[in-house]
Structure 1
Amino acid sequence: MTGQTLEEFKKAPFHLGHAELKWVSDQFNSMDLEARVSQLFNMMVMDNSPETLAGITALQPGGVTKFFGPELSRECQMLNDIRDGLTVPPLISADVEGGSMSLPFGTPVPNQLGMAALNDPQRAEQAMSIMAREARQLGLNWSFTPVIDVDDHFRSAIVGTRSYGSDTDVIAALGQANIRAFQSNGLAATAKHWPGDGQDDRDQHLVTSVNDLPMDQWQNKYGQLFRTMIEAGVKTIMSAHIALPEYMKTVTDDPEEWYRPASLNRHLNIDLLRGELGFNGLIVSDASTMAGASSWADRATVLADMIENGCDMILFNRNPAEDFALLMNTVRQGRVSERRLNESVMRILALKASVGLTELANERSDATALTQTLKQPDDVAFAQQTIDATPTLIKDRHQLLPLTVEQHRRVLVFSSGIRHSFIPHAMPLEVPELLQQAGFDVTLFQAGMRIDANDYDCVLYLLADESSLLKSHIYIDWMSLCGGFEGAMERHWNVLPAVMISFGYPYHLYDAPRVPTYINAYCALPDVQRAVVKGLTGQLTFNQYSPVDAFCGREQLRY
């Protein structure tokens, strides 16, 4: 590496001083080739087993992404064991997005779409700061947020509730708020998903998706969003398995190359993101195991192309030892140049220095101390007030709300439960129990149940499907919800007052256009469910602002 490269780290977004630059240089010069290649990997850590820890210690990766379980003491011990086993201090990352993608022992806050529904960037930034402080106290130093994708395609199951909605001005304001909240609290922020998701209804976990905007439109939308995040000082950008064919048509006549995903694409990472947009931070690939990358080429080519074509760090492994061997082989073959290898390692070290990892002794996770610092009463109270402000009443055609025990005591509930990609069976919602506690007589529909409208005073449809990986598409599965073929075709709102509530995907009106009362709550956190019940019973006023077009551009859904 040249002295000029070190000089670049004095500039945004790292702003390294003399001592930090010396640490970067000393660390880099102390590494042999194998150690440098190891730094390129960020391992996914799903459990706290000795086998997982042994794999981390053997690979010596530059970072780990931790998926947390509910036992704080075990999680803290694993983080400390990881640090103790690594020669170079690791980046420790997670998707700290709020909603279902929150720390299980942290203060509950809305997901990104819920934040957008607040229509209040200042309040949203304060809520994000709670997340950031708690994540940093736990030991995280890197978050894969903000998501700055534009929710322009209502059929997309992967963007939806993980986005800040459809308004690019709102996305820009909240993305900047996220960066300020996280980076002022010691976590590097990540703008994703380069070059911009939301134009395709497919999921890059399953297929290379496409941003097919003409370049003038892309520049005014996604280009401007990424420029804004860069100007806000975002330290990392995640390069995704998304093609940008209209840009590629300006640099190659090969139509196959038009659809090369950004994560493997020199033109998008180096020419466009670094050259034209001026990004000087770290580029991390999206998960290298996703089909959006793996469907493009064999594993060795994917790993080599990620580094050679502009990514500085490879997210996740299929098999850590095998991936290391494959990448080492491509380095020795010259498929990954010495220049790109060294540039990437230096940027990884610069990111570490920028979040204070030059003093590893200060990086310990103390479960006993955390029980005193997490979920501070003021933070919990503010977060609950924030959550109470998010559920949005999209329509109430017959002015049904609020529900009262006097008029609507006997409630029939259809519920699909909470659906999560990592949990094989739907989990029950708390809304029926909360209504029961409020004095309502609640009947939860079961398959095979005979329904007589005279036995009930109102009906609720409860859906809870947040945007997440591998869902492909989200829709109302009427057969599952209503117990079979005949039930799937019945609509009880013509004989009973009816409310449909989505604790996730905001576009269920597309499958239920005639439901007279519809609420979007954006996520299924218990505190969100309590807020919705308070709204149903008149204890709070529902939000009237929607960050997306819940009517999907169709007049039919309004009536």
Structure 2
Amino acid sequence: MSAELTFPTASTPNPLSISAEAQAWVNRTRDNLSVEQQIAQLFVLSSREDTDAEIDELCGVQPGGIHRFPTESLDRAWYATREVMARSEVPMLLSGDIEGGTISYPFCTQIPNQMGIAACDDLALTEALARVLAVESRALGYNWSLTPVVDINRAFRSALIGTRSYGSNVDKIIEHGCTHVRTLQAHGLAATAKHWPGDGLDDRDQHVATTVNSQTLDEWMQTFGRIFRALIDQGVASVMSAHIAFPAFIRSMLPNAGRSAFEPASVSKLLNEELLRNRLGFRGLIVSDSTAMGGLTSWMDRATAVPAVIENGCDVFLFSRNAAGDMKHMLDGLRAGRLSERRLNEAVTRVLTFKASLGLHTASLESRLAPLEQVRAQLQTVSHRAVAREAAGRSLTLVKDTQQLLPLDPTRHRRVVIISDAGSNFFAGAPARSFAPLCDELTRRGFEVRAFDPHAVPTRENADLVLYVLGQEATPTASHIYIDFAKLHAGGRNAMRQFNRELPTMLISFGQPYFLYDAPNFQTYVNGYCSLADQQIELARRLVGEASFSGVSPVDAFCGLEQLRW
């Protein structure tokens, strides 16, 4: 065992520290629950529809918590949240992936994603944005955010991490991550460091396959070991254990591990209990990543996996396609000895302690979720919108302009052809994807903007400027991120046709930061990280020289290749 993997643990904070009175509530509540009710407390189920039928289904199994995904109606979101809170016998956790970017409610202040925030390179602004998230999320009834993402963005083909990450610099990830955690938790919103034991190095997606952190022990210690330990020292309340293997550590303990060296962390006692708890000293809540992901479902059958998640160190079982069926799998696992009574008791106690640490055991329904109009008044306030707009502008990053195209001028670049792919949303309630704000801003400044027509391709006779505009942020199950010229140019043969040597051409990404890899000879490239309206409006100002670019790239947008720099 490498000595570097041993940490002093005596000084690590306990984010679940509670009063004697609260501890009495935990013990009393736990002991009054049946075994079936205790098992239900381990489950956090997802809400996506806000329908009465969904509310009835969720409340019918009395889970420990509900995880809300973005939906479009504030009225329905408020109603659904109020209902599940009112109908919960034990106060319910309300969690969300509160990351910014496209994982946003349309009726909340929409801020840049984590990479956009990192590009601002200003911890005071990071704190101000986290405060916006915390205040508005608390107004909506949330008490738990499954953020920040503290993965290292190095696999530039990865569709999953990308813009969800603070970048590739470990020190910057620690600074922004700790600021996010400190601010959220100061406002009563528990934070979560994810994805344990560290993602962003494998370009595969744990939503569809078990992925691997391939680092040596020493490499891990200098990167993810430092990151997670810093967040633990900051007092982060929870850590998400992902469907990611860490074979170097497993083999350091079991040299002949074989296939088990590649077991997902979500079902690895060695990674959760030995490395995270014993070595790093984490004393908070461990939540699994979504148990519906292929990284778990392809590793073991469901009946085995369900109790294994809890038995091997996770305290919360996240999501289920069949809640009643999975709860039965958990009970069957307990009866068969695949889930020990010790671990069930430990996990239930920790979940209830987590709730008590958030004050849920004494909070009234009204204090958890105010009347609708009071909630509405706390969303999208003038000050919140101003912070979001400032961040949108400051995040914009001019990666290169070797042709000295900027600033654009409607007298020289009047006829603009837009070749675009707005990308897709994984979450049904996320803000609509459109480049209308950018087109409108350019038109207002005297440009004539038209969409690409494969039957009338841009030439020097009919166009003065070609803008490629891409909007795909990091998203699950998208395989790999790349510029699909066949899609953009409406056909495989047309994909071979390039315009950048015939006309001034610019590539703009309102999403992943590595698109230059597929267009190495494009001489002007801007990263905007997400396609929210503020990003587009602020970019138009910078394209014409009304404001300057100040974003600092959180990653190597040249992908380590000299070719891309020219």
Q: Could you state the TM-score of these two structures normalised by the residue count of structure 1?
A: 0.96
Amino acid at match of 1:270: E
Given that residues 394 and 544 in structure 1 are in contact (C-alpha distance below 8 angstroms), is that contact kept between their aligned partners in structure 2? no
The residue aligned with 2:562 is 555
- Bigger mean CA deviation after superposition, 150-159 or 268-277: 150-159
| Residue 413 of structure 2 is aligned to residue 408 of structure 1 | yes
The residue aligned with 2:299 is 296
The residue aligned with 1:222 is 224
Q: Secondary structure at the match of 1:279?
A: coil
Alpha-carbon distance in structure 2 between the residues aligned to 1:495 and 1:448: 17
Alpha-carbon distance in structure 2 between the residues aligned to 1:247 and 1:167: 23
Given that residues 42 and 315 in structure 2 are in contact (C-alpha distance below 8 angstroms), is that contact kept between their aligned partners in structure 1? yes
Deviation of residue 418 (structure 1)? Answer: 3.3
Q: Deviations over 1:113-132 (max 9, x none)?
A: 00110111121111111111
| Residue 21 of structure 2 is aligned to residue 19 of structure 1 | yes
- Bigger mean CA deviation after superposition, 420-429 or 391-400: 420-429
The residue aligned with 2:451 is 444
| Residue 460 of structure 2 is aligned to residue 453 of structure 1 | yes
Q: Secondary structure at the match of 2:190?
A: coil
Q: Deviations over 1:310-359 (max 9, x none)?
A: 00000000211111111111111121000000100111011111111012
Q: CA 1:544/1:144 → structure 2, altered by over 3 Å: closer, same or farther?
A: closer
Residues 520-539 of structure 1: pairs in structure 2 closer than 5 A: 520-539=527-546
Deviation of residue 270 (structure 1)? Answer: 0.5
Given that residues 511 and 527 in structure 2 are in contact (C-alpha distance below 8 angstroms), is that contact kept between their aligned partners in structure 1? yes
The residue aligned with 2:434 is 428
| Residue 176 of structure 2 is aligned to residue 174 of structure 1 | yes
Q: Secondary structure at the match of 1:494?
A: coil
Given that residues 76 and 365 in structure 1 are in contact (C-alpha distance below 8 angstroms), is that contact kept between their aligned partners in structure 2? no
Gaps of 5+ in 1: 1-7
Q: Secondary structure at the match of 1:407?
A: coil
Residues 110-509 of structure 1: pairs in structure 2 closer than 5 A: 110-252=112-254, 253-361=256-364, 362-422=367-427, 427-430=433-436, 431-509=438-516
Q: Deviations over 1:473-527 (max 9, x none)?
A: 0100000001112321122111111111000000000000010100000001111
Amino acid at match of 1:476: I
Alpha-carbon distance in structure 2 between the residues aligned to 1:196 and 1:228: 14
Alpha-carbon distance in structure 2 between the residues aligned to 1:53 and 1:365: 19
Given that residues 70 and 103 in structure 2 are in contact (C-alpha distance below 8 angstroms), is that contact kept between their aligned partners in structure 1? no
Alpha-carbon distance in structure 1 between the residues aligned to 2:549 and 2:13: 46
Given that residues 46 and 68 in structure 1 are in contact (C-alpha distance below 8 angstroms), is that contact kept between their aligned partners in structure 2? yes
Alpha-carbon distance in structure 1 between the residues aligned to 2:479 and 2:199: 14
Deviation of residue 25 (structure 1)? Answer: 1.5
Deviation of residue 424 (structure 1)? Answer: 12
Q: Deviations over 1:142-188 (max 9, x none)?
A: 00001000011111111110000000000000000010111011110
Q: Secondary structure at the match of 2:471?
A: strand
Q: Deviations over 1:74-121 (max 9, x none)?
A: 100000100122100111000000111123211121110001101111
- Bigger mean CA deviation after superposition, 542-551 or 192-201: 542-551
Alpha-carbon distance in structure 1 between the residues aligned to 2:105 and 2:209: 29
Given that residues 199 and 211 in structure 1 are in contact (C-alpha distance below 8 angstroms), is that contact kept between their aligned partners in structure 2? yes
Q: CA 1:365/1:207 → structure 2, altered by over 3 Å: closer, same or farther?
A: farther
The residue aligned with 2:547 is 540
Q: CA 1:109/1:62 → structure 2, altered by over 3 Å: closer, same or farther?
A: same
Deviation of residue 366 (structure 1)? Answer: 2.5
Deviation of residue 469 (structure 1)? Answer: 0.7
Given that residues 267 and 312 in structure 2 are in contact (C-alpha distance below 8 angstroms), is that contact kept between their aligned partners in structure 1? yes
Q: CA 1:424/1:140 → structure 2, altered by over 3 Å: closer, same or farther?
A: closer
Deviation of residue 15 (structure 1)? Answer: 2.3
Given that residues 156 and 514 in structure 2 are in contact (C-alpha distance below 8 angstroms), is that contact kept between their aligned partners in structure 1? yes
Given that residues 146 and 178 in structure 1 are in contact (C-alpha distance below 8 angstroms), is that contact kept between their aligned partners in structure 2? yes
Deviation of residue 51 (structure 1)? Answer: 2.0
Q: CA 1:267/1:208 → structure 2, altered by over 3 Å: closer, same or farther?
A: same
Alpha-carbon distance in structure 1 between the residues aligned to 2:455 and 2:42: 55
Deviation of residue 11 (structure 1)? Answer: 5.9
Amino acid at match of 1:37: I
Alpha-carbon distance in structure 2 between the residues aligned to 1:318 and 1:365: 31
Deviation of residue 453 (structure 1)? Answer: 2.5
Q: Could you state the TM-score of these two structures normalised by the residue count of structure 2?
A: 0.95
Given that residues 149 and 165 in structure 2 are in contact (C-alpha distance below 8 angstroms), is that contact kept between their aligned partners in structure 1? yes
Amino acid at match of 1:384: R
Alpha-carbon distance in structure 2 between the residues aligned to 1:511 and 1:452: 22
| Residue 85 of structure 2 is aligned to residue 83 of structure 1 | yes
Given that residues 80 and 365 in structure 1 are in contact (C-alpha distance below 8 angstroms), is that contact kept between their aligned partners in structure 2? no
Given that residues 237 and 284 in structure 1 are in contact (C-alpha distance below 8 angstroms), is that contact kept between their aligned partners in structure 2? yes
Q: CA 1:257/1:545 → structure 2, altered by over 3 Å: closer, same or farther?
A: same
The residue aligned with 1:4 is none
Amino acid at match of 1:357: L
Alpha-carbon distance in structure 2 between the residues aligned to 1:423 and 1:461: 26
Deviation of residue 360 (structure 1)? Answer: 3.8
Alpha-carbon distance in structure 1 between the residues aligned to 2:269 and 2:457: 61
Residues paired across the two proteins, number: 551
Q: Secondary structure at the match of 1:408?
A: coil
- Bigger mean CA deviation after superposition, 17-26 or 407-416: 17-26
Residues 34-53 of structure 1: pairs in structure 2 closer than 5 A: 34-53=36-55
Given that residues 98 and 109 in structure 1 are in contact (C-alpha distance below 8 angstroms), is that contact kept between their aligned partners in structure 2? yes
Amino acid at match of 1:458: L
Q: Secondary structure at the match of 2:289?
A: strand
Deviation of residue 423 (structure 1)? Answer: 5.6
Given that residues 72 and 429 in structure 2 are in contact (C-alpha distance below 8 angstroms), is that contact kept between their aligned partners in structure 1? no
- 4+ residue runs over 6 A deviation: none
Q: Deviations over 1:436-484 (max 9, x none)?
A: 1222101111343343321111110000000011111010000000111
Amino acid at match of 1:419: S
Deviation of residue 50 (structure 1)? Answer: 2.1
Deviation of residue 364 (structure 1)? Answer: 2.2
